[in-house]
Structure 1
């Protein structure tokens, strides 16, 4: 497991930014109990050290015409070869694929695919995914209703480090 070296203020910063990435530095500093300059230094450090991956607007899929979501289990022929790497690269470049995970179990990869409607999914499946030569089997699960998506990461496991321990 990676070493997590966040103090209580860093944890409050990332929690606040997960809830609202548009907070101004002044608003953020006020929420976490710092003055603006040290707050900005901490945010920049969290970005530089890779705790903060980026900022983006969370769009409502149905409002932008992407009302169809499929979760797709993909089995491939072979893993440790150039074809598997080519598969991963091709899938990552497909704009319809909003998440891709290498998994254990019945599938080798689990994809989250968003498109306007079923006909578009069929075109994606037949025209793109099944055209990849390494794909052996595909199983689609269609989302009927989304109850929760894009939630902030749970951070309760990040315990504050006692100051005397950090100083050593």
Structure 2
């Protein structure tokens, strides 16, 4: 774990709010001059803490109005079954997230985003259930997002 001081945490909080902020504006917001601010950001990038920047899109504006959480159970719990499932699921851009989980009857939880129920049915019947080893699938559909963030909590990180 990296040692982060108060300024590092402020930088990370601002970058999580607005990843495309200029170094000058970032430095002003955290109360640091631009050169040391840029050095700190570069250090955190070089150390692998800052992984990159992305542009977040509004799914509904692209016609992607149906989101599902899908729990998948495998027929056998062997490394080759899991590897095969994971390599297959990576080929499908409608799967935004694939998590190997515990504490449920399922082995995986997927987050799937598609345009409508017809497209979901197509994905379910012609893709997901045809992956070798998939034994059971349970789908839940998201009615409303109460919280949807990519920001990590930084309040107590590195504080001494």
TM-score by length of 1: 0.89
Moved more, 86-95 or 58-67: 86-95
Shift of 1:140: 0.1
Q: Which of 42, 49, 60 is the matching residue for 1:44? A: 42
Q: Say whether the 8 Å CA contact 2:3–2:158 is kept in structure 1.
A: no
Q: Any stretches of 5+ residues in structure 2 without a counterpart?
A: none
Moved more, 4-13 or 78-87: 78-87
What whole-Å deviation, never above 9, does each CA across 1:79-136 have from its counterpart, x for those lacking one? 3322210111211231001011111122111100000000000011111111101101
Q: Provide the C-alpha distance between the structure 2 equivalents of 1:49 and 1:159, rounded to a whole number of angstroms.
A: 15
Aligned to 1:25: 23
Aligned to 2:12: 14
Q: Provide the C-alpha distance between the structure 2 equivalents of 1:124 and 1:154, rounded to a whole number of angstroms.
A: 34
Shift of 1:70: 0.4
Aligned to 1:88: 86
TM-score by length of 2: 0.93
Q: Kindly tell me the number of residue pairs found equivalent between the two proteins.
A: 159
Aligned to 2:137: 138
Q: Say whether the 8 Å CA contact 2:72–2:135 is kept in structure 1.
A: yes
Aligned to 1:66: 64
Shift of 1:159: 4.3
Q: Any stretches of 5+ residues in structure 1 without a counterpart?
A: 162-168
